[in-house]
Amino acid sequence: MKILICDDESIVQDSLKFIITKFFDARSQIESAKSGRMAIEMAREFRPDLIIMDISMPGINGIDAMKEIREDDKKVLFVVLTAFDKFEYAKKAINIGVLDYLTKPLNRDRFIEVLKKANKELEKGKTKRKEELEIKEKIEAVVPVIESGLIYNIFLNETENIENYRSLLDIKESYGYIAIIEAGDELHKGVLSNIIGAGVKLQKQFMVFKDIVKENFNAIVGSATGNRVIICILTENYDNSYENRVYIVEEMRALSKKLESQLGLKFKVGIGNTYPFAKLKESFSEASNAVREGISRVSHINDIQNDGLVEESYPKDTEDALFDGIEKGDEEKVLFNLNEFLKWLLSTSSEINNNMRLKVLEIVMRAESISVLCGAYKYKFEDRTGYMDSIMSLSSKDELSVWLKNKIISTTKLVSDKLTEKNDNIIDKAKSIIEENFMKDISLNEISRKVNVSPYYFSKMFKESEDITYIDYLTNLRIDLAKKKLLTTDETIKEICHSVGYNDPNYFSRIFKNKVGMSPSEFKGA
């Protein structure tokens, strides 16, 4: 056993060490702490199996110290030391899974009995962890096969099987996009050299390849086929906006650089758009086109120029901006681009005709599909009954314009409301997590992972919602608590520094002075 003795009396520490050494010989490693703060720090460094904690410790008391230690270590066993007259108080005040209680003055036989009990619990825990590891090893051997099966079924567009694989892999995300990564010895003007030799090298180092991908993305990784690997990146957000595309490309570039550094190969990546799982075959086709046609290290399908697919006079950029605005719920952007598109559409003929009607219907159908995909609207087969009759009954350009605008603006409003609801829920959840954990070393990456949003997107979302950066929000919470502690407790500045989430007292003092206008000691004495 690794045992940490926490008591401010040296004679108690020495007595406990003597009994442990005598009756448990060399089977135990023993460390000691004389204060609550020291106990917390020692627990992090020493990682004990058992902590013997006196509740009456200077500074941070034993109860608070145990609570903080429990946050970091869910498996450590606690034995509480308390004076006889505080025994009932100790039992009521602690609700963190204490193994047993010992009263002072200590009874040697009772102490040995508790140590044996702790040893027995630890052995049970080790047996359980061993069994869990064995199960985990078996599962980990099967998971790659299941992941490859999911990728294969996406390729075949077997929707029912895809849902079965999602269940097996416990995938909660609703959307995803496909990236295809190809390896070669060199990459020149979009062409990889020695793809057969690179494929052999990739097969040999595939586990390293897979680990690097999963470290950087929440992804399902298919098997290596020749020099090619297909991966599916999971996401909760249906976001094909320009900003998100730029972010994805930069993240994928960073991944390819890591892969090149670790594997000694060059990589080319093609990326498709985000879709619901049932439509990921489309993302696969797009990624295939992007990796085939792209000339750079990383190519997104929306960055590949498709000259000749539309006539030169067609306002493709305006149409793209219109749908981008709908996806973002940006009513101002939608209205501007809708008006611009209508100017072009109505100029194609002096009178209303069926080509105009068909184009308007196409735009409405695509806009409503976007609202379904982002969860703003539940699709029902008969919802569009009457669309054809309505569109054919329109007899003027003005009527056509009004019909289109009403449909597009109402659809955009649905998307906007849904996005606002989603963002509000995410920010509320994030703020709750921050307020519960700001006393710890908690990063933007940890928060964004907990709310299942990329750090880049979360940072932007948080700033827009709260009109303050995540770091400033976190700092304000810490400094407000520090001010309260300075005025209402006898804790030292060093203890307060640690208790509000900072490790370096000098850094804490600089931040405090920057925010408050005076040092912590000046504030306390003011």
Residue 307 has pLDDT above 50, yes or no: no
- CA-closest candidate to residue 287, choices 207, 176, 196: 176
CATH 3.40.50.2300 residue ranges for the chain: 2-106
Residue 322 has pLDDT above 90, yes or no: yes
Tokens read off for 519: 């040092």
Largest CA distance in the chain: 104
What would the mean pLDDT of 121-139 be, rounded to a whole number? 77
- pLDDT for position 310: 66
CATH 3.30.70.270 residue ranges for the chain: 142-303
Distance separating alpha carbons of residues 64 and 431, to the nearest angstrom: 24
In 3-state terms, what secondary structure has residue 68? helix
- Tens of pLDDT, residue by residue over 70-104, are 888 888 999 998 876 677 776 766 767 788 888 88
Topology classification of domain 142-303 = Alpha-Beta Plaits (3.30.70)
What would the mean pLDDT of 153-173 be, rounded to a whole number? 79
Sequence-ordered list of residues with C-beta below 8 angstroms from that of 31, at least 6 positions apart, any chain: 2, 3, 4, 5, 42, 46, 48
- Please write down the long-range contacts of 17-21, taking CB distance under 8 Å and 24 or more positions apart: 19/108, 19/111, 19/112, 20/115
Sequence-ordered list of residues with C-beta below 8 angstroms from that of 60, at least 6 positions apart, any chain: 35, 36, 37, 39, 40, 68, 491, 495, 499
Band (pLDDT 50/70/90 cuts) for residue 254 is very high
To 10 degrees, what angle do helices 455-466 and 470-488 make?
Answer: 60
- Tens of pLDDT, residue by residue over 36-60, are 999 999 999 899 999 999 988 888 8
pTM higher than 0.75: no
In 3-state terms, what secondary structure has residue 187? strand
Distance separating alpha carbons of residues 482 and 489, to the nearest angstrom: 10
Residue 306 has pLDDT above 60, yes or no: no
Residue 521 has pLDDT above 70, yes or no: yes
What would the mean pLDDT of 298-324 be, rounded to a whole number? 79
Please tell me the CATH superfamily of domain 2-106, with its number: Response regulator (3.40.50.2300)
